[in-house]
Amino acid sequence: MEIPYTTEPRKDTGLFNAKLGIWLFLASEVMLFGALFSSYILLRIGAEPGAWPHGLLNVPLGTVNTIVLIVSSITVVMAWASLKMKNFGNFRKYQAVTLVCSLCFLGIKSYEYNDKFSHYEVQLNDGRVVDGHMVEKSADGFTIHGHYVDKAEAAKVTHAWQEHEIKHEEIKIKNSDVKYKENYGPWHNTYMAIYFTLTGLHALHVIGGALVIAFLWGPGASMWKTDPERYTNRIEVSGLFWHFVDLVWIFLFPVLYLL
């Protein structure tokens, strides 16, 4: 028995099966990310005045990642258009660029995550606090490239650009002088927790989307010979998911990196 509406649209919905399915799935995704964005807003407006951290993320890297995702969304559409014009060679080229973009995005995100896991806040026994990146470790201590935190000055930092004014230096610290030390992982504070949750979930979606695109680009492309219209529809559906993932980032970038 042949499955109906795999290529031609149903009369009542005006959509073929896969398009209806992906939009139902994207509706559930909107609820998932919507709940997390709402959590972010509530956590932020509930924070003590001046307590919400600023300038912790690398804006140039976030900008590069935004450009990478915008380019990938353009190549996904061009790949779909190439199939519509029966040009399979161009489709392959455009989707290859999309896959390279997805790998670039994940590479940059991994670098950013690694940067946060090597960024430490160290409280010393004398009450001072050192903030910076771990550059060297030895048996009796470690070296931080950072600065001593002046709590009065830190409270005045309300925007990212004020971080430019802080001078960094190499600070050698003995293990015996440390009261406690903690890196900027998701456990560090509320901001880092919501940052890792939102961007981690988004990165999982990028991986999922890239795997689907890679399958359709590689082994799944054999359908182009047997049922080109259905294959083109599959590319459109994967493109819709990819656009959703990109659109989430377009909201995430200003919310987490700029504001």
Single residue of 70, 103, 155, 204 touching other proteins by CB under 8 A: 70
Quick check: 253 binds other proteins (CB under 8 A)?
yes
Nearer to other proteins by Cβ, of 192 and 248: the residue is 248
- Give the whole-angstrom CA distance, residue 256 versus residue 55: 10
Contact between 16 and 233 (Cβ < 8 Å): yes
Residues in contact with other proteins, counted by CB under 8 A, come to a total of 34
The distance of closest approach from Cβ of residue 170 to other proteins in the complex, given in angstroms and rounded to an integer, is 23
**Assigned token pair, 197:** 């949750």
Distance CA 256, CA 62 (A): 10
Q: How far is the CB of 21 from other proteins (least distance, A)?
A: 14
Nearer to other proteins, 90 or 162 (CB): 162
Cα–Cα dist 179/121, whole Å = 11
Q: Which of 32, 34, 63, 169 binds other proteins (CB under 8 A)?
A: 63
Pair of tokens at residue 152: 């009065």
Q: Is 64 in the site for other proteins (CB under 8 A)?
A: no
Shortest distance in whole angstroms from residue 43 CB to other proteins: 21
Question: Of the candidates 14, 49, 89, 219, which one interacts with other proteins according to CB under 8 A?
Answer: 14
Segments in the chain forming alpha helices (H): 17-46, 59-84, 88-117, 151-156, 190-217, 223-226, 228-253
Determine the angle formed by the axes of helices 59-84 and 228-253, rounding to 10 degrees: 160
In angstroms, what is the minimal distance from the CB of 256 to other proteins?
13
- Contact at 8 Å (CB) between 102 and 209? yes
Q: Could you give the 3-state DSSP secondary structure of residue 48? A: coil
Cβ nearer to other proteins, comparing 1 with 27: 27
Question: Considering the rule CB under 8 A, would residue 219 count as an interface residue with other proteins?
Answer: no
Reference 109, options 69, 77, 74; nearest CA is 69
Assess 93 for contact with other proteins (CB under 8 A). Answer: no
Residue 78 vs residues 10, 96, 192, 220, 254: alpha-carbon distances, Å: 26, 12, 37, 19, 27
- When binding is defined by CB under 8 A, the residue of 33, 40, 80, 217 that contacts other proteins is 80
List the interface residues with other proteins, window 157-196 (CB under 8 A): 159-162, 164-165
Contact footprint for other proteins (CB under 8 A):
14-15, 19, 23, 59, 63, 66-67, 70, 73-74, 76-77, 80-81, 84, 159-162, 164-165, 236, 239-240, 243-244, 246-247, 250-251, 253-254, 258
